[in-house]
């Protein structure tokens, strides 16, 4: 019997999106084909500690996630061993007895699925660590993860590539805060204010007045040292999932595909964190979006161009606005979008003929194939 592939599911993290990651990991863990894969669960707590317990390998979800059915209270089980990924280990992980500074064992993984959202997970930091550890991992590499996380750099690259983007301005910590009237003159009203390096609408505000403006700036700087000010683009919110790799899964070249197009109809003022992950009635997800086929094709084409512009790999979800005149504006890409049961990324692929389990299978396949291709590259003369 062929040995099962050990998949390290890496989740949690030092991020405001910690709970989202736990929910995503829960779904991926449940969907893995146990005839083909053996899950190895590795949680990162909010202090950055990597945790693992042999109990987690038994398939009892309650052992590694507490209050897993409550998105507001879900958390890691702290009764776990501390683990460390060893550089150039080929996937070997050491774990230490809790409360002791001594090695007590090790385990190995064949590929890592880093279901981490936001800073310290989706921004290239973990991707770099996994490359140093010489282990395949799902999703974008260091470069694409970093620029995909930084909305300022991301939008500048989109603009330079000729992609349609809205007007924006950047404010760095220590900069003089511009007058509200100046911003309104430049970007219009209302204006969106958000941390440059954050996702899932964390720290995002829709501002209509001077008082709200100053409070929103302060709130955004709680999450980042760089804040993005964006024009409000009235229109419909569309999303498209991208799957594939420049490496493909053969020697026939890249294989990058875009899914059906979906539409988000928020029932809140905008598509907030709660609407995405906590309030199941917070937004209506319409799949496929009720738009002309010509517009849907335009969105799919732009999604692939966005994916290619940032040198992404594996997966990405691209978000758009469609104005009343039918024109399409690129908002952003998420290089590790949510995998919760109400997440748009897997739902779009399900509507396009790829089941949740098959999607995970494909992503793992792409990760291993990319790793094998890169292993064949020379590192010097």
Please indicate, yes or no, if residue 65 is contained in any of the structural domains: yes
The answer to whether position 194 is within a domain reads: yes
pLDDT in tens, 111-140: 999 999 888 889 999 999 999 889 999 999
Confirm whether pTM is higher than 0.85.
Answer: yes
What tens digit of pLDDT does each residue of 142-158 get? 999 999 999 999 999 99
Q: How far apart are alpha carbons 187 and 229 in whole angstroms?
A: 8
Q: Given strand 226-231, what is the order of strands in its sheet?
A: 168-172, 226-231, 191-195, 205-207
Does the structure show a pLDDT above 50 at 58?
no
By C-alpha distance, which of 188, 174, 181, 124 is closest to 150?
124
Least-confidence region, from 93-97, 219-223, 258-262, 285-289: 93-97
pLDDT for 347 equals 95
Tell me if the bond preceding 288 is cis, omega within 30° of 0: yes
pLDDT confidence of 184, banded at 50, 70, 90? very high
Are 40 and 117 part of one and the same domain? yes
What Rg value do the Cα atoms of the chain yield, rounded? 21
Judge if 205 and 302 occupy the same domain: no
Q: What are the Cα distances from residue 290, in Å, to 269, 275, 295, 320?
A: 21, 21, 10, 15
User: Within 13 Å, how many C-alpha atoms sit on residue 169's CB side?
Assistant: 19
Answer whether 80's CB lies under 8 Å from 52's CB: yes
Could you tell me if residue 380 is inside a domain? no
Q: How far is the C-alpha of 5 from the C-alpha of 34, rounded, in Å?
A: 10
The answer to whether residues 117 and 210 belong to one domain is no
Q: What pLDDT sits at residue 197?
A: 86
In total, the chain counts a number of residues equal to: 381
Say whether both 123 and 27 belong to one domain: yes
Q: Which CATH number covers residue 291?
A: 3.30.470.20
| Cα distance between residue 21 and residue 180, in whole Å | 35
Counting residues of the chain whose pLDDT is more than 70, the rounded percentage is 81
E-strand ranges in 173-245 read 191-195, 205-207, 226-231, 236-245
What pLDDT score was predicted for residue 108?
80
pLDDT recorded at residue 41:
86
Of 236, 238, 254, 234, which Cα lies nearest the Cα of 246?
A: 254
Number of domains, the chain: 3
Whether 191 and 203 share a structural domain: yes
Q: Do residues 194 and 203 make contact, with C-beta atoms less than 8 angstroms apart?
A: yes
| Residue 381 maps to a domain | no
Instruction: Classify residue 97: in a domain, yes or no.
Output: yes
Residues 103, 14 within the same domain: yes
Can you give the residue range of the structural domain that contains 370?
147-163+235-375
Measured N-to-C along each axis, helices 210-220 and 180-187 cross at an angle, to the nearest 10 degrees, of 90
């Amino acid at each position: 019997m062929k040995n099962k592939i050990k998949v390290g599911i890496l989740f949690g993290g030092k991020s405001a999106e910690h709970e989202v990651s736990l929910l995503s990991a829960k779904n991926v863990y449940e969907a893995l084909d146990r005839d083909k894969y053996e899950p190895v669960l590795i949680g990162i707590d909010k202090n950055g500690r990597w945790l693992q317990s042999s109990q987690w390998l038994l398939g009892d979800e309650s052992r590694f996630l507490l209050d897993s059915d409550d998105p507001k209270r879900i958390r890691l089980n702290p009764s776990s061993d501390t683990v460390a990924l060893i550089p150039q280990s080929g996937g070997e992980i050491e774990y230490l007895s809790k409360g002791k500074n001594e090695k007590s064992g090790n385990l190995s993984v064949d590929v890592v699925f880093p279901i981490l959202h936001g800073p310290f997970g989706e921004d290239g930091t973990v991707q770099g660590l996994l490359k140093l550890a010489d282990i395949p991992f799902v999703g974008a590499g260091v470069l694409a993860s970093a620029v995909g996380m930084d909305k300022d750099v991301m939008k500048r690259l989109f603009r330079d590539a000729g992609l349609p983007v809205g007007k924006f301005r950047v404010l760095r910590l220590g900069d003089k805060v511009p007058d509200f009237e100046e911003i309104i003159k430049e970007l219009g009203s209302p204006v969106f204010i958000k941390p440059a390096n954050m996702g899932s609408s964390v720290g995002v505000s829709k501002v209509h007045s001077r008082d709200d403006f100053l409070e929103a700036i302060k709130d955004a700087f709680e999450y980042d040292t760089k804040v993005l000010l964006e024009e409000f683009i009235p229109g419909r919110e569309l999303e498209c999932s991208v799957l594939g790799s420049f490496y493909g899964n053969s020697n026939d070249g890249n294989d990058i595909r875009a899914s059906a197009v979906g539409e988000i109809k928020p029932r809140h003022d905008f598509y907030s964190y709660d609407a995405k992950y906590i309030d199941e009635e917070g937004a209506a997800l319409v799949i496929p979006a009720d738009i002309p086929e010509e517009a849907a094709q335009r969105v799919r084409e732009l999604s692939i161009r966005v994916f290619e512009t940032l040198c992404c790999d594996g997966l990405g979800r691209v978000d758009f606005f469609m104005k009343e005149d039918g024109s399409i504006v690129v908002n952003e890409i998420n290089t590790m979008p949510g995998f919760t049961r109400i997440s748009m990324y897997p739902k779009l692929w399900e509507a396009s003929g790829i089941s949740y389990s098959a999607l995970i299978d494909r992503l793992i396949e792409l990760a291993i194939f990319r790793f094998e291709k890169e292993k064949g590259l020379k590192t010097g003369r």
